[in-house]
Amino acid sequence: MAVGVSASRRCVTVNLWDFPLVNVASALRMSGGSMTDVQIVVGVVAATPWRVEAAERAVMGKQRTEQTAMAAGEAAIRGAVALKHNAYNIPLMRNLLERAVRGGAAGAVTT
């Protein structure tokens, strides 16, 4: 039986700005312990929301493990180029994406 899991995570600086630094939204379909359908989108790091297909490919058909999460995070930032004042967004995006793939109760919805 396939189970769907979705999560939304964001990183904000409290009391400084009213908008997030990075958003990550994920939808994973699980079957037999493996991710069989994966969609991951990041926001704020580009002018429009960006689907991270490299990270999706990195986890497709795999178990939700720390190693899989790290592979997704690295795939997401491969080739990323920071602008003059936003280099901090690259590790933030990687870390939030890893959390989304790794899973956990915070921000996750299972259907």
Domains of the chain: 2-103 (3.30.390.50)
Q: How far apart are CA 89 and CA 4, in angstroms?
A: 28
Quote the pLDDT of residue 86.
Answer: 86
Q: Which residue matches tokens 């930032």?
A: 77
Q: How far apart are CA 22 and CA 106, in angstroms?
A: 16
Token output for 97: 């994406």
What is the percentage of the chain residues whose pLDDT exceeds 90?
Answer: 45
Quote the pLDDT of residue 34.
Answer: 92
Statement: residue 26 has pLDDT above 60? yes
Q: When comparing pLDDT for 38 and 7, which is higher? A: 38
Quote the pLDDT of residue 57.
Answer: 96
Quote the pLDDT of residue 7.
Answer: 65
Q: When comparing pLDDT for 13 and 45, which is higher? A: 45
